[in-house]
Amino acid sequence: MTAPLARPTLAAVVTRHAEACVEQFGMTLSQRKVCRAIRACRTAALGGQLIACEDCGSSRYVYHSCRNRHCPRCQTRAKERWIDARVSELLPVPYFHRVFTLPHSLHRLLPQQTRWLYDTLFRCVAQTLLAFGRDPARLNGTLGITRVLHTWAQDLSRHLHVHGGVTGGALTADGQWVGARPTFLFPVRALSKVFRGKYLEALIEAQETGAFHDSAWTEDPTQGSAFVAELRKPEWVVYAKPPFGGPEQVLAYLGRYTHRIAISDPRLIEVNDERVRFRVRRGSDRSERRVLTLPGAEFLHRYLQHVLPPGFQRLRHYGLTASRCKQAKLALCRQQLQVPAPASKPLETVEAFWLRIARIDLHRCPDCGGCLTIMARLPPARGPP
């Protein structure tokens, strides 16, 4: 067994355990592409630049990033750009935080029906919230909804849920703004029942119309009916977290979750040829941590379970912030709330971004502060497939 790495990374896990993971669990084409991207990120495989200081003469290589959305090294820039784009869409009203979770018994459908389960989760959550918002006895209008999909728990097991912000008010059909109570939006147990009913209705319809194939229902239809009956018994978890204080808190929260992946490099403690040790939060207490140890192949397999289907959008907007109507409806909301439209903001350059986030000046030498110059551009290194 080789010595553990000084600074363990997910790329090191892929390098050491990808072959064993393929042998024990197999890998889909999408998962293989993610492994290749993570392994090549910021290495000579992707090419880069040779930069040198004009004053002290020191030089170094700077390699390109893979930009894969499952890579822990490539999310900061994407997150900041997303936040900048959302500033103009927030209203000066309270926002409520709601989390909708699928029961674990549905996980058996994931290997063949991943996209359907995720899409249906988004659709049923949006339909539930919009229906409550349009209820004449409640707000009688259209809400603004942002939903983010997370598929993992702290130990990298499956835990399918969506969460995000909901506006504390709605725009009525006649263009009036109706605000919600500051500390209450909708009853959680009622949301849970409606959400469960909509999802099970979609599940039954998909099986009857042949939208997806499930061997249990094909071989014995009574098994499918029994499965749905079991899903009706428990209450489906809908969790209400404390409401956000305002638009700034919404952005701060969403910035932490929109581009989060199943595990980041700082949580890794040790990576060697046999195992991976990493930190896991104890329950809901963020301050207490424990250490979990898994065989390397199993750890990588758990991580790759959360690779999204190609082209799948894990962050979606509904109601007032839906893409097809958000400009007109948000302008009407601001008119009712008597607030001006936010000023347009120019796109931040990469240099300005790193200077703001990490206080790193890409044009200055880290050794002497001199001016850095690109000496050569390095093409991607081509190796065996």
Query: Are 370 and 233 part of one and the same domain?
Result: no
Query: Are 24 and 142 part of one and the same domain?
Result: no
205 or 296, which is more confident: 296
Domain that holds residue 93: 76-262+306-337
How many other C-beta atoms can be found within 10 angstroms of the C-beta atom of residue 72?
A: 21
pLDDT band at 310 (very low <50, low <70, confident <90, very high): very high
Given a cut of 60, is residue 154 above it in pLDDT? yes
252-273 residue pLDDT tens: 777 777 778 899 899 999 999 9
Query: Are 113 and 234 part of one and the same domain?
Result: yes
| Residue 294 forms part of a structural domain | no
| Residue 385 forms part of a structural domain | no
| Residue 352 forms part of a structural domain | no
Residue 254 is predicted with a pLDDT of 74
| Residue 206 forms part of a structural domain | yes
Query: Are 57 and 188 part of one and the same domain?
Result: no
What is the C-alpha to C-alpha distance for residues 267 and 279, in angstroms, rounded to an integer? 5
Given a cut of 60, is residue 216 above it in pLDDT? no
The alpha helices in the chain, defined as continuous H runs, are 10-25, 29-40, 76-86, 110-134, 188-209, 215-219, 221-232, 247-257, 296-304, 326-337, 350-357
Query: Are 114 and 177 part of one and the same domain?
Result: yes
Residue 381 is predicted with a pLDDT of 81
Query: Are 61 and 197 part of one and the same domain?
Result: no
pLDDT band at 284 (very low <50, low <70, confident <90, very high): low
pLDDT band at 384 (very low <50, low <70, confident <90, very high): low
Query: Are 100 and 39 part of one and the same domain?
Result: no
Tell me which of 78-92, 146-160, 217-231, 287-301 is least confident.
Answer: 217-231
Given a cut of 60, is residue 2 above it in pLDDT? no
Query: Are 55 and 110 part of one and the same domain?
Result: no
Percent pLDDT > 90 in the chain is 50
Residue 213 is predicted with a pLDDT of 63
| Residue 5 forms part of a structural domain | no
Residue 361 is predicted with a pLDDT of 76
Given a cut of 60, is residue 184 above it in pLDDT? yes
What is the C-alpha to C-alpha distance for residues 173 and 111, in angstroms, rounded to an integer? 42
Query: Are 323 and 366 part of one and the same domain?
Result: no
Burial of 23 (0-12, 13-18, 19+ CB in 10 A): exposed
For the chain, what's the residue count?
385
| Residue 86 forms part of a structural domain | yes
Query: Are 98 and 62 part of one and the same domain?
Result: no
Residue 165 is predicted with a pLDDT of 87
Tell me which of 103-107, 295-299, 365-369 is least confident.
Answer: 365-369
Query: Are 149 and 46 part of one and the same domain?
Result: no
Query: Are 107 and 133 part of one and the same domain?
Result: yes
| Residue 231 forms part of a structural domain | yes
Q: Hey, is 370 helix, strand or coil?
A: coil
| Residue 161 forms part of a structural domain | yes
Given a cut of 80, is residue 82 above it in pLDDT? no
Q: How many domains does the chain have?
A: 2
Residue 21 is predicted with a pLDDT of 96
Given a cut of 80, is residue 246 above it in pLDDT? no
